[in-house]
Structure 1
């Protein structure tokens, strides 16, 4: 039978994807740029009649395909469920854009506040996804695959990966509009803050023993 712990982790993963989509949307609504991982889909949705979330799905599936190619035959079969993660994240990005439609900050302090709020929500979503420990997000999975293949530290590859995405978005934007869209100080703030906020959440999570909630209940689902 499916364990109680697994059911809980799947629910946590789903909640994490929701908050990730909402956080990405809030950072984007600040009009000070978008998060690095979303920079390419955002610029593309400005250039083509396809939604932010739909382009997120397409790019995430490309990440997944690249991850499978790099790992090869040893790719874990369970991780093929990353395809569902890709579609779920794209859906939640569009849902987040819908829910945050009324967020239209007019003044710079308000824009900064929205970036900070969006970064916090995004960090919480990423934390939940990692804590669930069920299925990798294809973006993170690709970074891990590259790190293992090149024998480089995950953090170093992650920085290079995000920087490459922002550079690609800038080139697409210049080709389509003649200006750089989707990259401003909000992108930098989000890129820096999210990691530190995740560390803070992880500290609180460990401090109060919240991880026990995800464990199987004794005597259940045996």
Structure 2
């Protein structure tokens, strides 16, 4: 069931979709709290937030909307009005980022290595679980995934290959922004960002295996 295919969407899928997006942002907040770097998906808006002092949720929303614009420029006639729903998803995603950071504000930034590792693991697990809920609904992709789709289509390359390239690009871009405007590379992206990029996919697959073990069926984790 997919907005992009104009099929009817069950309300249960929408609830699962929204909950998945929120849990993803809890994972993002834990990653930031780890002081080892944010996740690739928010590394650029987090860098912008550190540079400007603007709330990361607002930066994330603006970033997601900007990605929709790039997607529009890439797809041109193939970009349908319904794709603009990603703008509303971006607003929701950004709001969830702010809410998650507020919720975790009671927890101090990690300063001890074992706490940093713990927060990083929690970040990866929450983000993976959010993806496990969000991806199978196949409703509307977050703009980061929507842009990845657009690049995949225009270059005729696989989504998986482009996803890796895009994640690396976000990390490098966040490093460049941090160095140019803050004078250092750390903060928005670090070793934790790289570990998360390498581990989240595996964590989602493991969750799917556990789900299949107890339910007798696997979740459809095809990309949107």
Q: TM-score, normalised by structure 2?
A: 0.87
Report the counterpart of residue 94 of structure 2 in structure 1.
Answer: 90
Report the counterpart of residue 10 of structure 2 in structure 1.
Answer: 6
After TM superposition, list the pairs within 5 Å mapping 1:45-84 onto structure 2.
45-84=49-88
After TM superposition, list the pairs within 5 Å mapping 1:53-202 onto structure 2.
53-104=57-108, 105-180=110-185, 181-202=187-208
CA–CA distance in structure 2, aligned partners of residues 27 and 121 of structure 1? 10
In the alignment, is the contact (CA less than 8 A) between 1:55 and 1:90 conserved in 2? yes
Q: CA deviation at 1:209?
A: 4.6
Q: Which has the higher contact order (CA 8 A, sep 6+)?
A: 1
Report the counterpart of residue 36 of structure 1 in structure 2.
Answer: 40
Count matched residues. 210
CA–CA distance in structure 1, aligned partners of residues 73 and 205 of structure 2? 31
| Unmatched 5+ stretches in structure 1 | 213-222
Runs of 4+ aligned structure 1 residues displaced above 4 Å come to 209-212
| Unmatched 5+ stretches in structure 2 | 1-6, 220-224
Does the residue aligned with 2:168 lie in a helix, a strand or coil?
helix
Q: TM-score, normalised by structure 1?
A: 0.88
In the alignment, is the contact (CA less than 8 A) between 1:79 and 1:136 conserved in 2? no
The Cα offsets for residues 86-126 of structure 1, whole Å up to 9 and x where unpaired, read as 00110011111111112233310111011001111011112
Q: Which has the larger radius of gyration?
A: 1
